[in-house]
Amino acid sequence: MRCAPLLLLLSAAAIHAQSGGKAYSTYCVDCHGIQGEGGRGPSLARPRLPRAATDAELEQIIRMGIPNTSMPPTRVYGQELRELLRYVRSLAKTQPVAAAGEPRRGEAIFRGKGNCASCHMVRGEGGRMGPDLTHIGAVRGPAHLRQSIVEPAAELPNHFAQYRLVIPFPDNFLMLELRTRDGNLVRGSRLNEDPFTVQVRGLDDRLHSFDKSEIAELRRLDGESPMTGYRGVLSEEQIDDVVAYLSSLRDAP
């Protein structure tokens, strides 16, 4: 669910008032959330950041980014950098945003009416079309999880230039629809592509590999997701319950 512009402005103003908050709202808030709760980027409101156990490691990540991920370098130095580092560390004391629903009901919906386990894996059980959700509650906040349920394609790129093996989901996610020269139609998510071949996980969860010489038509479905939004399929209360279940999945990544 998207925040209203006024709410974002008021929240940004509150952040600016804190030491390091101005830098955080400038460089970090769009991906990591207003309270570090996680969004497009992982949650920072955790006692221990897996990639930044020390301040030196955190400073390195802020300044240089994380290669082969969507975390970019940040042009911040000196006092501003030190204040930003302290602010990020202070987010560990932030109380996690509580999800409104009931996790046990949410798990039943996840595995039952929602049929989510057909595409998503939790602790080694489930499908492979969507991301593994085993520790999703540790890295994404309830608002982001709700949006992913009601508007699954919201954070997928709406254009795509070239496949890059090292760029992670969702930035490298692309749906394809292709028709082979002998008339077979395959629709699914791209797993790999080079100048001569393409590999696709079909909506039937089967793996398909094609030489491009076999393909009569190839359509790139930019910004599309195989997941159908659940607004109107589940009630608001049921969505709350699923969000609560996903928020409870906090195994260490």
Going from the N-terminus, what domains does the chain have, and what CATH number goes with each? 5-93 (1.10.760.10), 103-152+229-247 (1.10.760.10), 154-226 (2.30.30.100)
Q: What percent of the chain has pLDDT over 90?
A: 45
Contacts 24+ apart (CB under 8 A), 132-138: 133/246, 133/249, 134/249, 134/251, 135/249, 135/250, 135/251, 135/252, 135/253, 136/246, 136/249, 137/246, 137/247, 137/248, 137/249, 137/250, 138/43, 138/46, 138/249, 138/250, 138/251, 138/252, 138/253
Mean pLDDT of 226-251: 92
Res 138 pLDDT > 90: no
| Predicted TM-score (pTM) of this structure | 0.69
pLDDT digits (tens, 9 = 90+) for 31-84: 888 888 888 788 888 888 888 889 999 999 999 988 767 788 898 999 999 999
Token digits of residue 181: 């020269």
Confidence band for 236, pLDDT divided at 50, 70 and 90: very high
Confidence band for 100, pLDDT divided at 50, 70 and 90: confident
In the predicted model, what is the mean pLDDT of the chain?
A: 83
What pLDDT shows up at residue 222? Answer: 79
Say which range, 83-87, 143-147, 219-223, has the weakest mean pLDDT: 219-223
Res 5 pLDDT > 60: no
